[in-house]
Amino acid sequence: MVATLRFTLWLAVAVVAAAVLGWLFRAVLTRIAPANAARLLRSAPLSASFGMAVIVFYLLVAILAPTIAPFGEREVVGAQFMPASSEFLLGTDNLGRDMFSRLIFGVRNTVSIAFITTALAFAVGAVLGLLAATVSGWIDQLLSRVVDVLMAIPALIFQLLLLTIVGTSIINMILVIALIDSTRVFRLARAVAMNIVVMDYIEAAKLRGEGLWRLIIREIMPNAAAPLVAEFGLRFCFVFLSISALSFLGLGIQPPTADLGSMVRDNATLITFGEVTPLLPAGAIALLTVAVNFVVDWMLHRASGLKE
């Protein structure tokens, strides 16, 4: 009973803190941003400004990781599984490395890899999808059927297969995950663009004699942006999971490089002892995911022109 009450209390405190953080962040941003951006930011709901605050925080952590972290990423600094103390803020892990420093480096590695992968998947998938819908005919057929074949193979198995063929490295992992994720983006982009290419303004642009590239980038892309942006938020989270899964199987980010996914696994034993430390990397992923989706929701809301 008391535990439930305390949990509820903490939850309420967390929500209020998040709202206050969002409000403060928005207040600061509107103060320092140029007039145009400030007006836009003022319309952001608290959830979105909270999300932006969290994202900025992660970015800072990722960029400044070596400065913030008290110890090195791979440095063994104490005994195994030491409890939290003033020296080791979150204790040490299964090999005696500082958990806090590992967490900071983990954010840097995982977030940047996930972001690059998602961006790559989107660049390839969206451009090809829009191209297929615009040109139609045999190019569309060819691309769509290739994508069908790729999508027919279970993603994880396919990733394992490709990584076994090309060899394990971070670059290869990024390319492989991006390739497989881009098929999903392709599908979406093509479906969305199909509804746009039949509009009169596209016909008008074609009759004007516009080239294919301009047609796709200037005329179609802005109108397809809303669903693509929403998908980006979702995809970003899935990529996290993919990286963690691959790391777990020993094909992703290789130890001793810090990675949020494998940190959970490495320290899982501690959960048995009632310690929350192994959940912190998972929490870090969850927080970023939520933050990204808050921002994406807002952008989607704006882009779709929904009022109230």
Partner 1 sequence: MTEAASNKPVLLTIRGLRIEGRSDEKWNEIVKGVDLSLHRGEVLGLIGESGAGKSTLGLAAMGFTRDGCRISGGSIDFDGIDLLTAPEPVRRGLRGKRIAYVAQSAAASFNPAHRLIDQYSEGPVQHGVMSKAEAQRDAMELYRRMRLPNPDEIGFRYPHQVSGGQLQRAMTAMAMACRPDLIIFDEPTTALDVTTQIEVLSAIRDIVAQFDTAAIYITHDLAVVAQMADRIKVLLHGEEVEEADTRTMLSAPREDYTKSLWAVRSFERGAQPALPAADVPVVEMRNIVAAYGPVPVLHNVSFEIHRRRTVAVVGESGSGKSTAARVITGLLPPSSGSVLFEGQPLPADYRQRSKDQLRQAQMIYQMADTALNPKHRIREIIGRPVHFYLGKSGKALTERVRELLHLIELEPDKFIDRLPSELSGGQKQRIGIARALAAEPRFIICDEVTSALDQLVAEGILRLLDRLQTEFDLAYMFITHDLATVKAIADEVVVMKDGRVVEQGPKAEMFAPPHDPYTELLLSSVPEMDPDWLDRLLAERAAGRAGGTVQASER
Residues that bind partner 1 (CB under 8 A): 199-201, 203-210, 219, 222-223, 305, 307-308
Q: Is 209 left (phi over 0), alpha (psi -120 to 50) or beta?
A: left
DSSP 132-197: HHHH-HHHHHHHHHHHHHHHHS-HHHHHHHHHHHH---HHHHHHHHHHHHHHHHHHHHHHHHHHHH
At closest approach, how far in Å is the CB of 179 from partner 1? 30
CA proximity to 114, closest of 3, 206, 1, 234: 234
Which residue's CB is nearer to partner 1, number 31 or number 307?
A: 307
Shortest CA distance to 106 belongs to which of 116, 98, 94? 98
Cβ proximity to partner 1: between 94 and 223 the closer is 223
Q: How far is the CB of 6 from partner 1 (least distance, A)?
A: 40
Contacts of 179 (CB under 8 A, 6+ apart): 121, 124, 150, 162
- Whichever of 210 and 297 has its CB closer to partner 1, that residue is 210
CB of 208 to partner 1, least distance (A): 6
- Token reading at 171: 């670059």
Q: Which is nearer to partner 1, 226 or 264 (CB)?
A: 226
Question: For residues 28 and 84, what is the distance between their CA atoms, to the nearest angstrom?
Answer: 34
Nearest to partner 1 of 18, 196 (CB atom): 196
Smallest separation (angstroms) from partner 1 to the CB of 154: 33
Report the nearest approach of partner 1 to the CB of residue 127 (Å). 18
Give the shortest CB-203-to-partner 1 separation in angstroms. Answer: 7
Distances, alpha carbon 110 to alpha carbons 8, 141, 175, 306, in Å: 31, 36, 15, 34
Nearer to partner 1, 274 or 305 (CB): 305
| C-alpha of 267 from chain center | 24
